[in-house]
């Protein structure tokens, strides 16, 4: 007589795919490489060093944590630490000293990830937490680091004039390896400051001064909202964090991830779409005259939208939840850009929305098959 069939009891999920953490993470690393090439091209080999140091520190910190907590140390090589380290480096200005990525990556892994229980248990994106930590700890290094060497040329100029020059030069000097000066978003922020000073001048009765200031603000904005700026942003010829330079190369990585089925389009599309919508509504000087193209291309929203909003651990799993997440993050990004103290709000918006992820998942839970709505 044949033996009775053996029944195996197992926990869900029962669907087995050949996707593993390691495969996904190395796909992400591959997708990050084009942007790394752009960073190296525009900011020199130092950019490459910063990324390598950051990734190496992240893996080492992960290894030491696992060793200390007596967990299998092979987890350190599942690729997630490398991704965290790379993403952290992508969020740094190119002018930072080389110890900064070490401190940031160690904090991101030790406090942001392993202290919560390792991969899958961290409540916020470790790379962004590392960045927030560095911004709070070393505000000067983190906000002045993108002044390229050519900055000295404008040093004795007044601060608003220099940026106007920088923007024009950016268009006029296509052969330059790097363009000096503040990031495009910094420049935009300063036009808002100019508007504010124009407003206060007008309230003090100095109409002529107000006119000059307002005129300057709008002429700088006109230079920002131009095809030549868009072209530079797409190619990556701009000041900014290492990884956010070239939109085209970031998109190449994103398309690769979509093709490998690592990136699900709902999150990036709802995030970038919300940014564009609110950029149009209040991203400019008044209402409904902002420039969505400029806002989407500048700063870190493409980097964030492809590689950070889509982090599998810290963002919702439900389809509706993902759209809500993107909406919230996009709105917060634009509110910070327009009215916040920082020129860019991408990282904080994602961190804040990371905290709401459990709540979003809970309220967007799809109906279980056969479940009847309880009218209570």
Partner 1 sequence: MSLVKDLTNGIYRENPIFKLALGMCPFLAVTTSVENAIGMGAAATFVLICSNFLVSLLRNLIPSKVRIPCYIVIIATFVTLVDMIMNAYVPDLHRALGIFIPLIVVNCIILGRAEGFANRHPVLNSVADAVGMGIGFTLAMILLASFRELLGNGTWLNINVLGPGYRNQPLLIAILAPGAFILLGFILGFFNILEKRRGGGQR
Which residues make up the interface to partner 1 (CB under 8 A)?
103, 111, 115, 133, 136-141
Closer Cβ to partner 1, 64 or 176, answer by number: 64
- Minimum CB distance to partner 1, residue 137 (Å): 4
- Minimum CB distance to partner 1, residue 172 (Å): 36
- Minimum CB distance to partner 1, residue 144 (Å): 12
Closer Cβ to partner 1, 100 or 263, answer by number: 100
- Minimum CB distance to partner 1, residue 347 (Å): 15
Closer Cβ to partner 1, 146 or 179, answer by number: 146
Closer Cβ to partner 1, 173 or 355, answer by number: 355
Residue 280, φ and ψ in degrees, nearest 5: -70, -40
Closer Cβ to partner 1, 52 or 103, answer by number: 103
HSE-up of residue 349 (Cα within 13 Å, Cβ side) = 30
- Minimum CB distance to partner 1, residue 132 (Å): 9
Please state, in angstroms and rounded to a whole number, the distance separating the CA atoms of residues 3 and 7.
Answer: 12
What the block records as the tokens of 4 is 């009775």
- Minimum CB distance to partner 1, residue 136 (Å): 4
Beta bridge partners of 241: 93
Closer Cβ to partner 1, 102 or 301, answer by number: 102
- Minimum CB distance to partner 1, residue 340 (Å): 18
The answer to whether the peptide bond before residue 287 is cis (omega within 30 degrees of 0) is: no
- Minimum CB distance to partner 1, residue 352 (Å): 14
Closer Cβ to partner 1, 118 or 283, answer by number: 118
Closer Cβ to partner 1, 99 or 152, answer by number: 99
Distance of CA 189 to the CA centre of its chain: 18
Gyration radius from the chain CA atoms = 23
Closer Cβ to partner 1, 66 or 302, answer by number: 66
- Minimum CB distance to partner 1, residue 154 (Å): 25
Q: Which of 96, 239, 117, 216 is nearest to 166 (CA)?
A: 239
């Amino acid at each position: 007589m044949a033996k009775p069939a053996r029944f195996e009891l197992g926990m869900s999920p029962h669907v087995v795919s050949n996707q593993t953490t390691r495969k996904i993470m190395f796909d992400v690393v591959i997708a990050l490489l084009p942007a790394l090439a752009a960073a190296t091209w525009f900011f020199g080999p130092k950019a490459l060093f910063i990324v390598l140091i950051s990734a190496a520190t992240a893996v080492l910190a992960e290894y030491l944590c696992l060793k200390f907590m007596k967990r299998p140390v092979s987890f350190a090589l599942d690729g997630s630490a490398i991704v965290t380290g790379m993403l952290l480096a992508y969020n740094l200005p190119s002018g930072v000293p080389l110890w900064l990525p070490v401190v940031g990556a160690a904090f991101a892994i030790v406090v942001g990830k392993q202290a919560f229980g390792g991969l899958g248990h961290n409540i916020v994106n470790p790379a962004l937490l590392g960045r927030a930590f560095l911004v709070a700890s070393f505000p000067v290094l983190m906000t002045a680091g993108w002044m390229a060497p050519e900055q000295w040329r404008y040093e004795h100029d007044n601060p608003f004039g220099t940026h106007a020059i920088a923007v024009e030069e950016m268009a006029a000097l296509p052969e330059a390896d790097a363009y000096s000066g503040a990031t495009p978003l910094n420049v935009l922020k300063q036009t808002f400051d100019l508007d504010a000073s124009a407003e206060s001048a007008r309230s003090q009765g100095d109409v002529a001064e107000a006119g000059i200031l307002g005129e300057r603000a709008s002429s700088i904005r006109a230079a920002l909202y131009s095809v030549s700026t868009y072209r530079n942003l797409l190619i990556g010829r701009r000041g900014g964090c290492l990884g956010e330079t070239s939109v085209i190369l970031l998109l190449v990585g994103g398309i690769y991830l979509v093709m490998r089925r690592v990136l699900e389009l709902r999150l990036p599309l709802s995030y970038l779409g919300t940014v564009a919508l609110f950029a149009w509504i209040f991203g400019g000087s008044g209402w409904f005259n902002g420039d969505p193209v400029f806002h989407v291309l500048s700063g870190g929203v493409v980097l964030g939208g492809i590689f950070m909003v889509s982090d599998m651990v810290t963002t919702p799993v439900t389809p509706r939840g993902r759209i809500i997440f993107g909406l919230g993050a996009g709105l917060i990004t634009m509110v910070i850009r327009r009215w916040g103290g920082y020129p860019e709000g991408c990282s904080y918006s994602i961190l804040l929305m990371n905290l709401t992820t459990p709540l979003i998942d809970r309220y967007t839970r799809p109906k279980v098959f056969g479940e009847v709505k309880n009218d209570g």
